Amino acid sequence: ALSENSIYFVNASDQRIYQQQFGTTTPVAITESGPRFADLIIDSVNHRLIAVCEQHDETTEPENYLVGISLAAGNMQITPLARGADFYAYPRISPAGKSLCWIEWNHPNMPWDSTQLWQADIHNHCLENKRLIAGGDGLEAIFQPQWSPDNRLYYVSDRNNWWNIYSADHGVIVDMPA
């Protein structure tokens, strides 16, 4: 993920998130060892990263959830934002910085079988008003959600057995013209 003056990345050897400021040669770890991270995005309004986190425990299956990771100096606070599903992917913040969308799914489904597109309002560093936008019937797979510059949510779905682009405008799903 890129900010105005840094790049943030996950180092494969230790799965920690590192920040490397432009013009420097040495990255700095901003998370501790243990959790694994993916799909980093910058929430510039709340001065944090949002990421998919995977926490391993030797006695149970790994837990996946969405987290906010503070970018304040000396404050490596990791805050869970959404949890409860088996898997998460594609967290995306609206251009206005007021909404977050993501994809989630559960066993035994794979992401090409059945996923759900969720959206929530960002308020005081938390997610509020979480709502299902599409999917959830066990028959639809969704991927690549993306916000347009005017804050309209677009995504790809196989709801009609073909991969097509759809948009969600205030919770109403709109087919894109062919």
Q: What is the pLDDT of residues 107-134, one digit of tens each?
A: 999 999 999 999 999 998 899 999 999 9
pLDDT at position 174 = 72
Quote the pLDDT of residue 137: 76
Helix ranges (DSSP H) in 45-157: none
pLDDT at 93: 97
Which residue numbers in the chain have pLDDT < 50?
Answer: none
Q: How confident is the model at residue 176, as a pLDDT? A: 65
Nearest-angstrom CA–CA distance, 37 and 12: 10
- Cα dihedral sign, 27-32-35-39: negative
pLDDT at res. 43: 95
**Strand spans (E) along 5-75:** 6-10, 17-21, 28-29, 36-43, 48-57, 60-70
Number of H helices, E strands in the chain: 0, 15
Check: pTM over 0.85? Answer yes or no: yes
